[in-house]
C-alpha cells in the first residue's frame, strides 16, 4: 500500500507550503473521538491529558485478563499475558504498572504479524480496550 496523500502532505509541510497548526487542527476535527483517543494512547500523550489518582487501584482489568488468558508473567515491573488471535497467531499483552487496570483502560499489545487487523506502529505495537480482548483473542483458561 502506498501512502500517496501522506507523502504529499509531509512534502508540503517540509517545503512550508502548509502550516502545521492548521493541519493538526483539521486532522483532529476530522478524526473520530475514538481515533483521537487511540492516537493519544499510541503516542504517549495521555500523561498530559489525564490526572492519575495514586491511591485508587482498580484491578478489574487484571482479573478479567487473568480469567480469560491465564496467569500473567512479571516482565520488567509490569505484567505480560500471552494469547492467540482468532487465526492462531501469538499475541502479547502488556501493562507497565502491574497494580491497576480497569476493563475500560487500554492495554498494549504486540502483533508484528498484524493478524488482529488493528492499527500498530512499525514494531507491531498497538493498544486495545481491555474489555475488547475477547473480540480479538481466543479464551485460554
Structural domains counted in the chain:
2
Is the pTM value of this prediction over 0.85? Answer: no
Q: Is residue 96 part of a domain?
A: yes
Pair (80, 122) in one structural domain: yes
CA–CA gap between residue 43 and residue 55 (Å, rounded): 26
Pair (73, 109) in one structural domain: yes
The pLDDT tens digits of the residues spanning 54-103 come to: 445 678 888 889 999 999 998 777 899 999 998 889 999 998 876 778 89
Q: Which domain holds residue 8?
A: 4-49
Pair (81, 122) in one structural domain: yes
Pair (19, 76) in one structural domain: no
Edge-to-edge order in the sheet of strand 78-84: 73-75, 78-84, 90-95, 106-110, 125-129
Contact 108, 93 (CB under 8 A): yes
The pLDDT tens digits of the residues spanning 117-126 come to: 999 999 999 9
Q: Which of 30-34, 82-86, 103-107, 132-136 has the lowest mean pLDDT?
A: 30-34
Pair (19, 45) in one structural domain: yes
What's the confidence (pLDDT) of residue 53? 47
- C-alpha grid cell for residue 88? 492462531
Q: Which residues pair with 82 in a beta bridge?
A: 92
50 pLDDT more than 70: no
Pair (64, 126) in one structural domain: yes
Q: Is residue 141 part of a domain?
A: no
Positive or negative, the CA dihedral 81, 85, 90, 95 is: negative
Pair (66, 130) in one structural domain: yes
Amino acid at each position: 500500500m502506498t501512502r500517496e496523500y501522506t507523502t504529499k502532505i509531509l512534502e508540503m509541510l517540509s517545503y512550508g507550503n502548509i502550516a502545521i497548526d492548521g493541519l493538526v487542527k483539521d486532522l483532529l476535527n476530522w478524526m473520530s473521538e475514538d481515533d483521537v483517543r487511540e492516537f493519544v494512547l499510541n503516542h504517549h500523550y495521555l500523561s498530559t491529558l489525564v490526572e492519575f489518582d495514586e491511591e485508587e487501584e482498580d484491578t478489574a482489568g487484571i482479573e478479567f485478563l487473568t480469567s480469560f488468558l491465564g496467569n500473567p508473567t512479571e516482565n520488567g515491573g509490569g505484567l505480560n499475558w500471552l494469547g492467540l488471535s482468532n487465526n492462531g497467531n501469538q499475541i502479547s499483552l502488556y501493562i507497565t504498572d502491574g497494580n491497576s487496570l480497569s476493563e475500560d483502560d487500554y492495554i498494549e499489545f504486540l502483533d508484528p504479524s498484524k493478524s488482529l487487523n488493528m492499527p500498530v506502529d512499525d514494531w507491531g505495537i498497538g493498544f486495545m480496550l481491555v474489555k475488547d480482548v475477547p473480540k480479538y483473542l481466543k479464551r485460554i483458561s
